Amino acid sequence: MNILIAEDTQSDRLLLRFYLEKLGHTVTEVVNGEELFNTVKDGYDDWDFLIVDLNMPVMTGEQAAREIRALHSDSPEDWIPIIFLSGSDNDADIERCIEAGADDYLVKPIQHKVLAAKLMAMARIVAMRNKLVGMNKRLEALSTTDYLTTLPNRRAFETSLKEEVAKASRYQQSLSVAVLDIDHFKNINDQYGHHAGDEILQQVAERLQEGLRGGDVIGRIGGEEFALCLPHTESKDAFRACDRYREVISGMPFHYNGAPLTVTVSVGVAAYREGVTQLDLIKLADSALYDAKRAGRNCTVERD
């Protein structure tokens, strides 16, 4: 492991380095809190552990730890274990260190076996924590990803759209939304079975992704419904862009078990207006979509 030592007393620093290297770790030294903070700030991911003396010149270990914890306060998964060193076993000093962001506390003079045990215990905590973070990320991905197409699901799409609506309102930017619905999708399921319908949904998603403009966001928001967020796009430009998305679907046949299938989509487009929410925009695009269905399907309709 890569361990960064912050210790202003040379003899303590050399002894600590000797112990750590004997345990097989790679060691880097700094001599005050300011050097510690700057070193971590410039290479946060370089370090597996920080071992920090409490009382150091320029910036104390306590101050440095608070600054280091503040670097990634909004990203709790970015965490480096910090072990404090001090000649004091005073309860108040230990409490201050823990409050500053320490994970453990060692009283000088350091005992080799105690240090080794502390590092071993901390390494187990790190391993368990990393496993938990990984599991949480996978769960988050599952909760925001459509299982069939791997596109963002409705929840994730609405979250992205909400952010774009906020930007459009704050910076007076254009924004459009479209809803695409596969025409006569029930007929595909009835004639070929639901497995065929699933394959068509996957192929539609792939084709839309391949034709996706830079900056646009696509999601699957319903059974055979997809939605598009088109930032920085005025109504007329959105209509043209979405009609090209429609042509991407209808321009070439799809295939199931080697047989060609003609698949088309109807598209409804709505542009952002001040005061509307992301849900309002989707409803407006849905309304335009129904007009496209009534107009004969396989067409794009823009909501004024």
Kindly list the catalytic residues. 224
Q: Going edge to edge, which strands form the sheet with 300-303?
A: 217-220, 225-231, 175-182, 265-271, 300-303
Buried b (16+ CB within 10 A) or exposed e, 282-304: bbbbbebbeebeeeeebbbbbbe
Tokens representing 2 are 């890569």
Amino acid at 65: A
Q: Which residues pair with 84 in a beta bridge?
A: 52, 105
Rounded distance, CA 249 to CA 213, Å? 15
Q: What are phi and psi of 114, to 5 degrees?
A: -65, -45
Tokens representing 127 are 């391993």
203: exposed, middle or buried (Cβ count in 10 Å: 0-12, 13-18, 19+): middle
Tokens representing 24 are 């097989």
